Structures are given as structure tokens and as C-alpha cells.
Structure 1
């Protein structure tokens, strides 16, 4: 079996889709399954044992971190003809993904897709809600040409079904429990950010409107009226960075993007993970925080519902309600025993979320789809 993966984002870009796609390519390679990743040029230097085909790209003006591909379809087809894929996996629905769908349809190669990002919900944050029916119309056309459409959560699967998308299946995300580990707590990291003897709240993710960061900042302002020994560490970057830095309270620390061991240290060195987003299809960072032993405070909304269990591994809030965030953080701040218990249970919960099983099950599906296609051709 030979697999071609089409994606509009790839490592070393920092987002859940890029990271998950890199893990999938690694998993295929470890199983000695030839793999080709087609992506906009992200500067990735390769060396992992799989083929990477980059296309030209430009940065979206309103969101410089978002790279828009300008693929040369004919050149891409020549590379694919040489690679001879047995299965095509579309990770994104736009320029590169559309090329993959066109190639699959023209060659009768079985094609599957994933739904990772809730673009229709994002539109309302950018005053483009009037486009929502058209986006769903396009998504129906795109996904209904695929043999399977993998959803990261039950909530996302329900949303797609309600919008007329068929052939749905569940494929969640896992977490690297060796990397994200409470033992990575670092006094040096705490001192470096000037948070000695403080309760550290942590946010990890893109700094963009759809992450509801206005609710988090308002919650911190209210919390500052009651506590002088808290700080919020914001790890990530995005189009809102300058605005947030300009308007944030003094006890908000911006680290920019962190990766690998530095990110693991940031998680493990914090006390409470606070994530206000209501637009997640899954929320990988929720699991990373739990694996690091942190209780999670987040809205019980979207894909977050897949992992957040109220009063077991965190505390739930109503969507876009900073008062609930304040109440939850206050409860954990004032009750060390509760905070420790939820953190320990969060780690226990995350230990069951193995990447090996999730990706192993997906690859088993790959084999079945290819086998079924070969039967049809006989």
C-alpha cells in the first residue's frame, strides 16, 4: 500500500492539523508503508523517511501564519504518477486538498478525508457569517465525493451529519504521554518568566478571534481584583498578538510559540490550564494539559466535550462566559486538594489516549479500503 496525504498545513507550522499530519506520516513510515505528503512550502527539511512535495505559497494578508498554496497541478500529477498511490487522504478541503480530490477522481484511486477545522463557525468571528451556507454547500460537495470522512469527535460528526455530509467515521487524537508529563516541571522556567510563588494559569494555542481570548482576558482582569499572586502565561502566536499584548493586564506573560521540551516544561510548570475556545473540533491542547497533570477550565462546547469531564479532570464553563471562568479558577486557586485531585485524574485520563492505537486503527482502515477497491477492479 502507498499513501498520498494532501494538506494545506504541515510541520514545522504549529497547529493541531500540521502536528497530527506529521504524526500520521511518521506512523506510516514506521510501519514501512510508503507515504507522500503534498503541502505548501513550510520550510520543513524532511529526513523522516517519507516523501514531501512542496508547492509555492503566499501568506494570507490578514493572517500571515496561514500559508495559501499555489499548486502547479500538472507538475503535482507527474510526481503522483511516479509515486503511484493506492490511497489518497485529504486532510484539508482547500487548494491542496482540492487538487488531491481532482487527481483521485481522474484516476479512480480511493479517496478519504478528515474534518479538522470548523471553518463555518469561524466566519461569524470575522463578520462573514453570510457565507456560511455557501461554505457548507462546498463542504457537502467535497466530502460527499470521499469514501470516508473522519471526524475527531462525536460532536463534529453530529454537526457534519446535520449539514448533509455522508460516510462519516470517528478518528480522534492522541497525546504523547512521555513528552507531556508532570515530571517536566521546571523551577528554571518559572523563574525565567518571573512567576516564582505565583499560581500560573496557562493558555496554549493560536492567538486569533475564534479562540475567544477576549473572555480569558476579561476573566484575568476580574481575578486580579481578588488575587495578587496569579499570572497568565499565553503560549502561541497569531493575528491578535499585537492587540493582546497592548491591552493585556501586566500579569499576562507572552512566550510566543514553544515546541518540544520547552512546551512540555510550560505545561508541567503551570497550575491550571484555561482554554476559552468554543470552536474546537477536538482540542489537542486539552489532552496535552491533562497529560501534564493540569486540571482544565474550559467551555463544555464542541470537541472539548470529548475529553473534559466536569469535576473529574477539570471544571466546565458555559460558552463565552468569563464569569464561569473566574468562578472555576477561584475554586481551584482556593482549594489545593481539589486542584491536585483533578490534575492527577487528568493525567490518568490522558494515559488512555495512545497515539499508537488511534493511528494503528486508522491505518487498518486504510488497508481495508485499498483491499475493497482492488476487489472492485478485479
Structure 2
């Protein structure tokens, strides 16, 4: 069994109000019950970036400000039979714990779905949590259930906070529909599969809200999300947790297009439309594929690039043929180069709580096309100028929007330039979000007195 480092005493960050006691640093456990890998989704990447920012904060005796009073452990799900610690600094580390009841057996053959842990209790995590002052829940399965049960027992008195990163009920509903179809060989039919999917989504929404009721503070990425959850949890518990952007990694690159042709055989003599994410119905990939088929049917010469895996990959290939390049899942460094080599990001998903892919594309100088009313549109500073919003949210409406962009090269170039400018001027870095959104919450709840059971 791997020894997890004990929190290191350090000094208090300047972002904490002067009234907060400064004698004891805050030790935070962030619970991310998903597998960490180079191709993991946005939930995992978000906490990797926050941890990297925390590791850059000044250490003891430096005299610097920001977060020297923080000791951070991010718990990810690991592989069976193996526990592993990866230090980022003396005060920041990743810990990968083996699952108790992994969902790996339920995933499809392409492995596009996130793997979590369905166990009601995780003994190893329960043994480690008491050393931390603040327990930060980010999901609604084994890690969160263990933390809430342990806190309610009253043996330890932690401060419990939570954050919402993914619309888990919506995603699970889509995957339940796929699983129902596979498990029964289609015997349930569309209505039966949808009934099963709706039941799963309803149950998970109830479970998520039940766990969040145990949190003193709940952080969500948008004001709309705050308003939605405040009706269940109370407005006094809600706080905003924005998403950051790595401006060094995601930026325009004039050499990236030629690299796309060289490395992946992508034709570069026509506009390139990118999609990045799971290739399944949760991201509305069938709608996008149909809209791109209509674009081609109207005589426009465009090529589609898709980065990701999922159940709809085969259908996309059949619909678009030679006019699509499927890259599979890419690590962040390679994905950044793919972004910079394309012209348009078409992202019809409505299940995102925030949609980092949109921020990354804008920072890379792409014109983004998004559905009206989606939470991803909050990345836009001036809709219609730094990105397009599709009001007629069907395949024909999406085809109209894409044709408008590719038919007017000067408009496309102008939107791309404005997107990059919005990202540069308005989208915060991960360091800034850590300092302004996370540290005040962690320190604030830590020093409010005894935690609630």
C-alpha cells in the first residue's frame, strides 16, 4: 500500500480575508472518481489544471501571496490492485486509488465512456479522508458517497463542499439507452430503451442533489446553474466556479494546418470543420453529421475533422465518407495543434455545464458554432461577431449556419480573429480561477467553526 503524504504546514494566502485565523493551513481533498489518463475528458483535465496552478503557488517562507496556506490532494480513480501517488510539489499531489466496483465492464468496445466506481463505500478513501480539513466532492458515486457517509457518522467533523462539472444524469441517460439496446438486442424498441434511460436519469439527478445537500457550499460554472440548483439547495449555498484556459497551450499557430496534412492526411485546400468530444448522442453528433451531409449536398467543399471516440463513429463515417477524418482521442498537446489547424468548431452539445472545448477552440482562433440557449454560449463576448449561435437547432439550421461561414471567407476570418481576441482578453487563466473562485471557498468554510455532520 502506498503512503499518502501528510499535509505540509504552510502560511496563509493573501486572498483570504484578514479576519480568518492564519495559524493552521487548510488541507483539501478533492474527490474525482474518474480514471486519470492523457486522453481523459474535461472533468479530469479541469482538476489537473487546478492542481498544476496550486503547485505554482508560493511555498513557506517565500513571502509571496496567493495560496501558500493550501495543501491539496486530488483523488482520482486508479487501476485495479494498484494505488499510486504522483507528487506535483511538496504541497500538491495526485492519488490514484483502485476501484471497488468499477463501471469498466459496462463501457462500450471503443471505451469512450468515463469509468467510475459504483460502490456505496470505498474503505481506502475512508481511511485517508480524516487527515484533510475540507472534502470537495465533484461526482456522485463511490468517493462522494463515502465522504458523505463518513461525515454523517460524526467521528470526524470535516467541511464538505461540492462542485458540478458534468451533467451526469443527462449523460447517463444517453448511455443507458445505448446499453439497453445492446443488452436486449433491440427487443426493447425505441420507446422501451428511452423509458429505461429516463429512469436512470431521474434517479441520478435525485442522487446528485441528495449528496449536494450535504455540502456547505456548491460551486457551479454558470450563473444559470447557480439559479437552477438554488431552487433545490438554497441560494446561500451557491457559488461560481469558472473554468480557466491555458493560453500558452491553446493559441493560433500558422504552422498547424500543414502539420494536419502531414500527420493525418487532412486536405487543406478547403475549410476544415472540427468537432472534439465523445462521438455519441450525448453530444448530438448524429445531428451534426446530418447537417454536414446537407452542407456537402448543397455543393460546398468542406472537410470535417473529429477528435474523439464513441458509439456514433461508424454512422459518421457512413454519412460523410471521404469528407471526414476521425482522429480518435488525442492528448492535450496534440489536440491543441489540431484546433489551431482548423477553421470552425461545430459543437451542438447541450449537456455541457461549461464546455472547455469551446474556450480552447476560441483561444486557438476558431470560429465556434453553438446552439442557442446552451451553456457553452457564455464563452462568447459578442455572439454573431466572435462566434455563431444557431437559433433553428436542427440539421437544416446547422447546415445554414455552416454554409454562411464557409461561403464568406472574409467573415470567417473576422470571426476567427475576434474569437481569439475574446479568449485573450476575457477568458481567465486557471491560476486566476484558483485564486478567485476556489481558495476563498476552501479557506472560508475551513474557518467557520465546526463542520456540520
Provide TM-score, normalisation by structure 2. Answer: 0.76
Which of 49, 71, 85 pairs up with 1:23? Answer: 49
Which residue of structure 1 lines up, in the alignment, with residue 78 of structure 2? 41
Tell me, yes or no, if structure 1 residue 329 matches structure 2 residue 402. yes
What is the CA-CA distance between 1:7 and the residue it aligns to? 1.2
Which residue of structure 1 lines up, in the alignment, with residue 11 of structure 2? none
3-state secondary structure, aligned to 1:159 = helix
Which residue of structure 1 lines up, in the alignment, with residue 132 of structure 2? 85
Contact 2:367 2:412 in 1 (8 A): yes
3-state secondary structure, aligned to 1:253 = strand
Q: Larger C-alpha radius of gyration, 1 or 2? A: 2
Aligned CA distance change for structure 1 residues 196 and 253 (closer, same or farther; 3 Å): same
Which residue of structure 1 lines up, in the alignment, with residue 98 of structure 2? 55
Contact 2:390 2:397 in 1 (8 A): yes
Contact 2:125 2:143 in 1 (8 A): no
More displaced 10-residue stretch of structure 1: 42-51 or 84-93: 42-51
Which residue of structure 1 lines up, in the alignment, with residue 187 of structure 2? none
RMSD: 2.4
3-state secondary structure, aligned to 1:198 = coil
Contact 1:10 1:17 in 2 (8 A): no
Which of 20, 30, 40 pairs up with 1:5? Answer: 30
Which of 389, 413, 419 pairs up with 1:340? Answer: 413
| 1:236-260 Cα distance to aligned partner (Å, 9 max, x none) | 1133334433444321110011123
Contact 1:4 1:88 in 2 (8 A): yes
Which residue of structure 1 lines up, in the alignment, with residue 214 of structure 2? 145
Which residue of structure 2 lines up, in the alignment, with residue 292 of structure 1? 364
Contact 1:278 1:319 in 2 (8 A): no
| 1:178-214 Cα distance to aligned partner (Å, 9 max, x none) | 1111126421213432312121000011122110001
Aligned CA distance change for structure 1 residues 245 and 313 (closer, same or farther; 3 Å): same
What is the CA-CA distance between 1:171 and the residue it aligns to? 0.8
Q: How does 1:268-283 map to 2 (within 5 A)?
A: 268-283=340-355
Q: Distance in 2 between matches of 1:69 and 1:336?
A: 48
Which residue of structure 1 lines up, in the alignment, with residue 433 of structure 2? 358
Which residue of structure 1 lines up, in the alignment, with residue 184 of structure 2? none
Q: Distance in 1 between matches of 2:114 and 2:332?
A: 21
Which residue of structure 1 lines up, in the alignment, with residue 446 of structure 2? 370
Contact 1:219 1:323 in 2 (8 A): yes
Which of 102, 106, 109 pairs up with 2:158? Answer: 109
Unaligned 5+ residue runs, structure 2?
1-25, 60-69, 178-193
| 1:149-203 Cα distance to aligned partner (Å, 9 max, x none) | 1111122223323455651111110111111111264212134323121210000
Q: Distance in 1 between matches of 2:242 and 2:281?
A: 25
Which residue of structure 2 lines up, in the alignment, with residue 170 of structure 1? 240
Q: Distance in 2 between matches of 1:210 and 1:315?
A: 21
Which residue of structure 1 lines up, in the alignment, with residue 169 of structure 2? 120
Q: Distance in 2 between matches of 1:55 and 1:238?
A: 25
What is the CA-CA distance between 1:334 and the residue it aligns to? 1.4
Which residue of structure 2 lines up, in the alignment, with residue 302 of structure 1? 374
Which of 287, 298, 312 pairs up with 1:240? Answer: 312
What is the CA-CA distance between 1:140 and the residue it aligns to? 2.5
Which residue of structure 1 lines up, in the alignment, with residue 389 of structure 2? 316
Q: Distance in 2 between matches of 1:9 and 1:45?
A: 15
Which residue of structure 2 lines up, in the alignment, with residue 190 of structure 1? 261
The number of residues matched between the two structures is 374
Q: Distance in 2 between matches of 1:129 and 1:58?
A: 19
Aligned CA distance change for structure 1 residues 265 and 100 (closer, same or farther; 3 Å): same
Provide TM-score, normalisation by structure 1. Answer: 0.91
Contact 2:348 2:371 in 1 (8 A): yes
